[in-house]
């Protein structure tokens, strides 16, 4: 094991229904923040209750943290996790070429979705779930219409990364970003995320449960909301699905 950060637990499982569910089940027994990684996941889930498929050889892990922060502060961990994923993948393949971050919680590689993030909470426990297509992609039929096509690290770069090796890289990448957030607040994390953002300055579509917003992606504000310049003026959107068209 290499580069493992001080103070973080490391739990490896052969298989589980969902690493997020397992993290929530174990939360009461954890002495500190802990990573839970499984080689197989039978009932992974993504945002809005969607299923997250995990072909053999891909990566599924969750980080369980204890925090008494309010929900809006906890939600900023999606940006921390995205930056950690960006760094871990770049380190694993030897380049950050083609990597970009898609608001609110995806990581792209050569324009395709390579990884996703899901935050869930229970009491003072925050669980950050991360799924990464290391070697394979899910069935295209499972994707939402208009969604970004899925890609894998192996398929796009020719580099094969094992799940345990990637866990070590990810944990090492996450810890300093977490420290920045706790020490300096969201602003340095926000600026770093924007420097890696997909389609910044371009027209995108943001769909909520009730509305569709189309405009130029201007920035992410201090609360983590997406800011669009639309025909109606500047609009801040706290949660939505993003489509590039």
C-alpha closest to that of 234 among 210, 212, 217: 217
Query: What strand order describes the sheet that includes 241-243?
Result: 233-237, 226-230, 212-220, 203-207, 241-243
pLDDT at 144: 63
Top-level CATH class of 9-195?
alpha beta
Tens digits of residue pLDDT in 124-137? 999 999 999 999 99
Which pTM does this prediction carry?
Answer: 0.94
Q: State yes or no: pLDDT of 143 exceeds 80.
A: no
Q: What share of residues in the chain are helix, strand, coil (percent, to 5)? A: 30, 35, 35
- Which CATH code, of 3.40.50.9100, 2.60.200.30, 2.30.30.100, 3.20.20.100, is assigned to 203-243? 2.30.30.100
* Pair of tokens at residue 7: 């103070």
- For the segment 74-116, what is each residue's pLDDT rounded down to a tens digit? 999 999 999 999 999 999 999 999 999 999 999 999 999 999 9
Buried b / exposed e along 229-240 (16+ C-beta atoms within 10 A): eeeeeebebeeb
Calpha distance 127→121 (Å, rounded)? 6
Q: Where are the domains of the chain?
A: 9-195, 203-243
């Amino acid at each position: 094991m290499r580069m493992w950060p001080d103070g973080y637990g490391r739990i490896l499982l052969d298989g589980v229904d969902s690493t997020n569910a397992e993290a929530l089940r174990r939360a009461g027994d954890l002495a500190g923040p802990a990573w839970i990684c499984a080689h197989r996941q039978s009932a992974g889930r993504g945002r809005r209750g969607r299923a997250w498929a995990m072909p053999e050889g891909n990566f599924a892990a969750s980080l369980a943290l204890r925090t008494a922060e309010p929900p809006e502060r906890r939600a900023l961990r999606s940006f921390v996790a995205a930056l950690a994923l960006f760094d871990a993948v770049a380190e694993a393949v030897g380049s950050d070429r083609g990597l970009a971050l898609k608001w609110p919680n995806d990581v792209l590689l050569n324009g395709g979705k390579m990884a996703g993030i899901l935050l869930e909470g229970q009491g003072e426990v925050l669980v950050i779930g991360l799924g990464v297509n290391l070697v394979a992609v899910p069935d295209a039929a499972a994707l939402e219409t208009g969604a970004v096509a899925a890609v894998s690290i192996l398929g796009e770069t020719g580099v094969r990364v094992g799940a345990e090796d990637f866990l070590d890289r990810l944990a090492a990448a996450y810890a300093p970003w977490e420290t920045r957030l706790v020490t300096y607040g969201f602003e340095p994390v926000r600026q770093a995320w924007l420097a890696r953002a997909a389609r910044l300055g371009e027209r995108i579509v943001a769909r909520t449960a009730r509305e569709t917003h189309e405009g130029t992606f201007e920035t992410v504000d201090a609360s983590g909301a997406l800011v669009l310049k639309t025909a109606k003026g500047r609009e801040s959107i706290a949660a939505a699905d993003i489509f590039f068209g």
